Amino acid sequence: MNLYIETSWGSVNKYGEELCGDKVEILKKGEDTFIVLADGLGSGVKANILASLTSKIAITMLSEGAGVQDVIETMASTLPVCKERQIAYSTFSFIHIKHNGETHLVEFDNPDTVILRDGKALFLPREEYVVSGKKIRETHITLKPNDFCITFSDGVVHAGVGKLLNLGWEHKNVVEYIEKSYRKESTAFYVQNLLLQACKSLYMDAPGDDTTVAVCKIRTPDIAYVMVGPPLSAEDDEKIVNALINFNGTKIVCGGTTSQIVSRISKRELQIMLNYISPDVPPIGRIEGIDLVTEGVITLGKCYDILKRYESGSIGRDNMLNSKKDGASQLAQMLINKCTGAKFVVGRAINPAHQNPDLPISLNLKLRLVSDIAECLKRLGKTVEIEFY
Amino acid sequence: MVDVCVCVGSSCHMKGSYLVIESLKRLISLNNAEEKVVLKASFCSGNCTNGVCMEICGEKITNVTPQKVESIFNEKILPLINK
Amino acid sequence: MPYKTMQIKLLNPSKSKRDLLEDAIDRYSTAFEILLREIKSILPAVLPPKTELLKLMDKNFFKCVSNLGVEPFKDALKIDLARLLAVYFSKKSSYPVTRTFDEDIMALLDGEEKISKPKLDAAFEKYQKKRPLLFCRFDEKRDYSIFQSEKGTYFAKLYLFNRKNAQNSKRYAVFPLDAAEWQQKFLNDMKSGICTPKSAELIQKKDEFYLNIRFWYPALPKHHFSAYIGIVRGINSDLYYAVSLKSGEIISTGSINVNNIYGLNKFHSLSNEIIRLAKENKAYIIMENLSTSNDNLKMKGLKVPLSVGDYNKIAFLVSYKAELAGLEIAFVSANSIFYRCTRCGNFKRANRFLKDKFICTMCGHSDNLEEIGSSNLAKTLITYKNNKIPVYYKAEENSIVFRLDILDYEVVCAKSLSAANEFCERLKNHIALNINNFSKHQQFTAKKLLGENAFSKINFIEIK
């Protein structure tokens, strides 16, 4: 089975530094996912260069099939030697996850990567050997859906040093926190962001070191087919609706007229739910076989607001992603938590009412909203496609 | 049975379908007419420029505003209930 | 009714004055015992109400002590007797003896063949025992009073004589008092009217004479408070406090610790410090109610300096000291204060970390546990006692989004000066239409918002 690897990463710079001395590269090639996290020696520009070179070289060579030995030798000969310290140095963690979950993990001098299964950290037996004077730790494991792979730089392990915690956070405590805050429906973004928030708080907003977290969540692929708006040409109606009905994934319809078309062609009744959860969001509808039916433009606009709030990382009381049940919230919940990607099928028919200058809605607005939502989802680690009709 | 349908599509929503529906619910309850009136919502009856759109037993009524609901109720729906 | 007692020494009375005092005490003690024995025969089986008891002690009754010259102490003797009898009736023990005379001792020795040692010891123990001389009221014309000379020295004026043994035709004598700094405080309070002197007792300890004066401090009208101070059990110190403004903003925190003092003195020190901090911050005192439930501070392997019992004792001291100082105090449930996040409200026990630290598993906020506990406690009354309901709002480009979490209600209004009013109107409409579907908790809040003054009941808080 082809698994979907949802990825997300984030960084907080050392206090006072403009450039981050940690670098993460993520590459998806075909059915493989490659991730590299590098932590450059020192901080600022030098560290940034070291880390960038390391991660770039590593990801390029690995994705081309090079062996670990080759990669390290190349790095050793490429990295500029620091004049003061007379060494060229950057840590690295390579993660290669195949479409079936087979994972190859290679680490040098970074804190141990954590694999989380059902909320508990797995013990990873690691093989140690030396290449070009570097002590490498390697492991192989097959990951299953809903497993998390969490890798981070030293900044996380030292969070709080000199402030709240004498010895810093310490790896074992970081693992404990990850386990304690685990929630099955968390996205890769959520986990990465929460860890960074905790680090920021422990450092009291003045990190003593560049702090980076990269997270992969293994998921069974679930693409959402989102039909937005009637196609320009009525002849395409049947084609698109059939594609929707027969789609292997989550099925979403956005739009009043659109849902009526779907109802007509699929010969299934469209019911509108009269209970307004939120007076500003139009009610949702129901068609048998469709996962979610909402109104169009207004719902999409509000959904985008929710996605932006989620992305801004204001987790906690400001993030009501999981609790509300109105059309926009349900749409956001589905796109983020349930699905690993979205395929937007956007009809370009113009609703004459929307041309009324009194109303602030238009076709352009709808199209713009869809593309904004798509970009946001991509940044959150989802695969997105848009088709126009 | 008296069928009352209110459009909740994009345009009508912006013109206040929510308040129209909530007012209707209240009026139906005040007149103890829950058994006699079926209140439904629909997505877009095709007359977006003249929202909010309502349909009472097949009769289309346009340009409904939350302020007009009570008088429309008394004029059109109450007689049908009391028949 | 908070009473405080002050003991003050009579300053170096001359020999003749000492004799006067000793004699007065002697006469009083003798009269008391005689009256005590006299009343035994006319006492009913059950303690009568005080007025009845006092009526028993009429002129006839006092005839038996007419030769002792205790007329100035008549009222005091009556009250003193009544008190002792009340105790006797409630304890139902043997009839009290406060003094034995020569005759009693002689009677014992001459009496039985064999005298038991305890009986003899008891008799000797009470032999000529001095009873504190009670002055039942502060009065310039009788009993006792205190005054200050022009030079500043304090004097006690004690009425000790009847007409017969009046000194220089005066029935009182004046004694200078030895007022050290802490007694000055009481006397100053008395001068400025903060407290009122009530009864007093004259006692003799070895060669010195003292007056024990009871002062009554009426509870002061409550001060206006502008902040809350929450005091919790500490981990690295005895106690920890946080001061919160009424808006919920924490303006200061700190530890309260007392070393090298133990037991009740330590509790007094700690409670005094709490009062001092509360006064300094003009704050309403919030303390944990640990009598009905625990604060769950203690964990395996964690040592907490103060036990629940210790904290409760301190709390008791604080409550009466607060009343004296005109400060308000409340005891609230401390159930989840040590694991509830101050930023997002998430209250999972898993939020506790490394015994004395805190990292929220929902939003990542981290802090020392003492800060979290004290902040939560200080803000307790703000959420549910404060009448204002929080509504969060965020300004977007052309609109303002309002959110009322309790009712799960979110609304977008046009960005204008009347946006808040528009919000209130729409909210009221929403409530009127949906109130029957609300939970009890929601209905409580909803009802507050229906009606004319909804606007004034809302606290609009901006989210950036």
CB contact under 8 A, A285 and B43: yes
CB contact under 8 A, B44 and A298: no
**d(C-alpha C271, C-alpha C314), whole Å:** 6
Q: What is the rounded CA–CA span in Å between residue A39 and residue A92? A: 6
Instruction: Report whether pLDDT(C464) > 60.
Output: no
A200 interfacial to chain C (CB closer than 8 Å):
yes
Residue B42 pLDDT > 50: yes
Are the C-beta atoms of residues C56 and C42 closer than 8 Å to each other? Answer: yes
Q: Which residues of A touch B10 (CB under 8 A)?
A: 255-256, 282, 295-298, 351, 354, 361
Structure tokens at C38: 């006299």
Q: Does A353 touch chain B (CB under 8 A)?
A: yes
Residue in chain A closest to C367 (alpha carbons) equals: A164
- The 3 state secondary structure assigned to chain A is CCCEEEEEEEEECCCCCCCCCEEEEEEEECCEEEEEEEEECCCCHHHHHHHHHHHHHHHHHHHCCCCHHHHHHHHHHHCCCCCCCCCCCEEEEEEEECCCCEEEEEEECCCCCEEEECCEECCCCCEEEEECCEEEEEEEEECCCCCEEEEECHHHHCCCECCCECCCCCHHHHHHHHHHCCCCCCCHHHHHHHHHHHHHHHCCCCCCCCEEEEEEEEECCCEEEEEECCCCCCCHHHHHHHHHHCCCCEEEEECHHHHHHHHHHHCCCCEECCCCCCCCCCCCEECCCCCEEECCHHHHHHHHHHHHHHHCCCCCCCCCCCCCCCHHHHHHHHHHHHCCEEEEEECCCCCHHHHCCCCCCCHHHHHHHHHHHHHHHHHCCCEEEEEEC
Q: Strands across the sheet with C239-245, in order?
A: C250-256, C239-245, C227-233, C283-288, C329-332
Work out the mean pLDDT of chain A and round it to a whole number.
86
Q: Which residues of C touch B26 (CB under 8 A)?
A: 432-433
pLDDT band at C409 (very low <50, low <70, confident <90, very high): confident
Q: What is the C-alpha to C-alpha distance for residues C429 and C284, in angstroms, rounded to an integer?
A: 37
Instruction: Indicate whether A317 pLDDT > 50.
Output: no
Measured in whole angstroms, the distance separating CA C385 from the mean position of its chain's CA atoms is 24
What are the backbone angles phi and psi of residue C240, rounded to the nearest 5°?
-135, 140
**Are B43 and A353 an interchain contact pair (Cβ–Cβ within 8 Å)?**
no
A205 or C458: whose pLDDT is higher? A205
In the predicted model, is pLDDT for residue C5 greater than 70? yes
CA distance B43 to chain A (A): 5
A281 pLDDT higher than 50: yes
CATH number of B2-82: 3.40.30.10
Residues of chain A with CATH 3.60.40.10: 4-219
Are A202 and A169 within 8 A, CB to CB? yes
Looking at residue A356, its pLDDT comes to 59
- Residue range C290-307: mean pLDDT, rounded: 86
Amino acid at C304: V
pLDDT digits (tens, 9 = 90+) for A221-270: 899 999 998 888 888 888 899 999 999 999 999 988 888 889 999 999 88
Decide if A185 contacts A119 (C-beta within 8 A). no
ipTM at complex level: 0.77
- Which residue, among A286, A385, A379, has the nearest Cα to A344 in the 3D structure? A385
B interface with C, Cβ–Cβ below 8 Å: 19, 22-23, 25-26
Q: To the nearest whole angstrom, how far is the Cα of B82 from the nearest Cα of chain A?
A: 25
Please report, for chain C, the start and end positions of each structural domain, with discontinuous segments joined by +.
Answer: 1-218, 227-384, 389-462
Q: Which residues of A touch C350 (CB under 8 A)?
A: 180-181
Query: Contact, A270 vs A286, CB < 8 A?
Result: yes
Q: Which two tokens stand for residue A103?
A: 């994972």
Cα distances (Å, whole numbers) of residue C264 to B8, C267, C311, C314, C346: 72, 5, 12, 9, 38
Q: How many CB atoms lie within 10 A of CB C301?
A: 6
Q: Are C240 and C288 in contact (CB under 8 A)?
A: no
| Chain C residues inside the 8 Å CB shell of B23 | 433
C433 near B CB under 8 A: yes
Q: How many CB pairs under 8 A join B and C?
A: 9
Residue B25: its chain C contacts at CB < 8 A? Answer: 433
Confidence bin at C385 (pLDDT 50/70/90): very low
User: What residue ranges do the domains of chain B occupy?
Assistant: 2-82
Yes or no: is domain C389-462 CATH 3.30.160.620? yes
Please state, for a pLDDT cut of 70, what percent of chain C lies above it.
94
Q: On the CB side of C15, how many CA atoms lie within 13 Å of its CA? A: 0
Q: What is the mean pLDDT of residues C185-203?
A: 87
pLDDT recorded at residue A87: 61
Q: Does the pLDDT at position B82 exceed 70? A: yes
Chain A: residue nearest B6 by CA? A274
Q: Is the minimum CB–CB distance between A278 and chain C shorter than 8 Å?
A: yes
Architecture (CATH level 2) of domain A4-219: 4-Layer Sandwich (3.60)
pLDDT for the residue numbered A82: 64
Q: Does the pLDDT of residue C386 top 60, yes or no?
A: no
Chain A, chain B: beta-carbon pairs less than 8 Å apart: 71
Could you tell me the pTM of the whole model? 0.64
Most confident of A82-91, A218-227, C213-222, C444-453: A218-227
- Round the average pLDDT of chain C to a whole number and report it: 85
**Lowest-confidence pick of A129-133, A167-171, C318-322:** A129-133
> CA of A334, closest CA in chain B: separation in Å?
21
Beta-bridge partners for A130: A135
pLDDT at C268: 93
What distance in Å separates the CA atoms of residue A357 and residue A349, rounded to the nearest whole number?
18
To the nearest 10°, the Cα dihedral for C265, C266, C272, C277?
A: 170
Predicted confidence at residue B21, as pLDDT, reads 85
Give the whole-number percent of chain C exceeding pLDDT 90: 34
Over range C200-211, report the average pLDDT.
92
Q: What is the pLDDT of residue A318?
A: 44
Q: In angstroms, rounded to a whole number, what is the distance separating the alpha carbons of residues C31 and A7? A: 98
Percent of residues, chain A, with pLDDT higher than 70: 92
Cβ–Cβ < 8 Å for C24, C239: no
pLDDT band at A142 (very low <50, low <70, confident <90, very high): very high
In this structure, the number of other CB atoms found within 10 A of the CB of residue A226 comes to: 28
What integer is the mean pLDDT of C289-311?
87
Q: Which CATH number fits domain C227-384: 3.40.50.2000, 3.30.70.1060, 3.30.70.20, 3.30.420.140?
A: 3.30.420.140
Which strand ranges, in their side-by-side order, compose the sheet holding C144-148?
C133-135, C196-205, C208-216, C3-10, C172-178, C154-159, C144-148
In this predicted model, what pLDDT tens digit does every residue of C82-140 receive, in sequence order? 888 888 888 777 888 899 888 888 888 787 667 788 888 888 888 888 999 999 999 88
